[in-house]
Amino acid sequence: MSNPTSRRFFLGAVTAAAATRVWGANDKINVAIIGLGGRGTNHLNAYPRLPDARVAGLCDIDQAARERAQATLQKIASGEKAKEFEDMREAFADPGIDAVSIATPNHWHALATIWACKAGKDVYSEKPACYNIYEGLRMVQVANETKRMVQIGSQHRSMPFKIRAMQAMQGGLIGKIYMAKGLCFKRRQSIGHKEDSPVPPGVNWDLFLGPAPLRPFNELRFKYNWHWFWDTGNGDIGNQGVHEIGLCRWALGDPEWPKSAFASGGKYVYDDDQETPNTLLASYDYGGREIVFEVRGILTGGEGTPVRRGGGRGGRAGTPAGPPAAGNANPASTPNNVTIGNLFYGNEGWASMDDMGFQAYKGESSELVMEERPERGPGSDGTSLHMENFLAACRSRNVKDLHDPISNAHFSAGLCHLANVSYRTGHKLNLGPGPRFTGDAEADKLITRQPYRKPYVV
């Protein structure tokens, strides 16, 4: 069992060395990866290939995960090994660690970031920025107080083709955008039922739960499926969906809190242990324009295929209507609309975006006026580019260099939380300053976790 009292010394203030360090041109930034599951493995495969980074620490509450990560690192980094940590606080206290890359479950993002900042470490943290609204506000406060670089893993913000598309739309490509819509039609199978069971050997279940309530070990609350339980996750709107909500905000110029929010849906079809909805429709009123977001985890079609003037359907989202491309004998086998991505509607046209590209149409005839495709090849993936941006800001010490700092990213996560609060209370939310909900004590209770489990208190 971890001993929090032995590590209190590093939680009070940034160390002088970390606060004043100046990076040399050839210095590598020593990064510790916190959380070595699915997304953490992506981090592990990215950092050793970046010229500015060295993986100096591997942290996970699961001994088997640490061993797998160490073996992977040695293959990628020509036999180089990293220090191993079970408790992230030991990594934060290590003077040989300059920055941390957090890939834990959602309920740990805020506390891990806050602890790391107070220990003088810069932070790259996976999305969503925070588990609830209060945590996001607290993260911004601590990042500002400690002058740490805190980048949230919204890798779309570093993808060149999406940057070009956003610049064009903000420049009036489709006129004034009155609606930005995010789609998360990601097929999810039923998780079924599982009985509680003994904690597996090598797993520190207390550390895994952290701020969440203490519960018996259950396999469904552990690897990945923690997303579907309110103690630790935020459903698919806070999993995949936060990316698309962030893109909606980006297209609108990154507005902050809406005037109101409403979400409805449910957990349909399945009889299993999942708590979060698998179908959800949320809307956010920004006064004269809105963001709409939809989750569909069950079988569904997509949206966004252009319509021919004669009434027939076009090709894939963003592909002009016409005959199938040469060599495509079965056009029906080609995806023909957006299932995970975004649609943008302006007074002069509309546009679609997903990881395969961006297309914009104008006028009554939906004339294709812009098309962008993602770059291909080594180093062109969004995660690596986003991490490179983070490392560059660690050197410059200029938070404005970050493509999605916590000061912006917490609003994208906040919209996910607003939808879940509306869904769980069953009514529309009217927002006041703070944010607080106008005359809504029931919703106010869901701004934060009540209570946090000591000593893991945000």
Instruction: Give the global pTM.
Output: 0.90
> pLDDT-derived band of residue 1, with 50, 70 and 90 as boundaries?
very low
Q: What is the pLDDT of residue 307?
A: 53
Per-residue pLDDT tens digits for 20-71: 566 555 689 999 999 999 999 999 999 999 999 999 999 999 999 999 999 9
Residues 6+ apart with CB under 8 A from 6: none
- Residue 450, pLDDT > 70, answer yes
Q: What is the pLDDT of residue 26?
A: 63
Q: What is the pLDDT of residue 23?
A: 57
Least confident range of 228-242, 308-322, 332-346: 308-322
What residues are paired with 360 via a beta bridge? 351, 370
When pLDDT is averaged across residues 395-409 and rounded to a whole number, the result is: 98
Set out the domains of the chain in order of their start, with CATH numbers: 4-157+380-409 (3.40.50.720), 161-204+221-321+335-372 (3.30.360.10)
- Residue 147, pLDDT > 60, answer yes
The CA-atom distances, in angstroms, between 255 and each of 37, 292, 410 are 33, 14, 12
As a whole number of angstroms, the distance between CA 4 and CA 10 comes to: 11
Per-residue pLDDT tens digits for 174-222: 999 999 999 999 999 999 999 999 999 999 999 999 999 999 999 999 9
As a whole number of angstroms, the distance between CA 190 and CA 200 comes to: 23
Least confident range of 100-104, 154-158, 323-327, 343-347: 323-327
Q: What is the pLDDT of residue 22?
A: 61
When pLDDT is averaged across residues 400-417 and rounded to a whole number, the result is: 98
Q: What is the pLDDT of residue 325?
A: 33
First to last CA, the chain: 20
Longest dimension (CA), the chain: 73
- Residue 349, pLDDT > 70, answer yes
Token reading at 85: 């940590």
Q: What is the pLDDT of residue 25?
A: 57
Q: What is the pLDDT of residue 276?
A: 98
Q: What is the pLDDT of residue 79?
A: 84
Q: What is the pLDDT of residue 4?
A: 42
> pLDDT-derived band of residue 304, with 50, 70 and 90 as boundaries?
confident
Residue 157's nearest CA partner among 314, 329, 325, 385 is 385
**DSSP characters for 345-409?**
EESSEEEEEETTEEEEEETTTTEEEEEE----STT-SHHHHHHHHHHHHHHHT-GGG-SSBHHHH
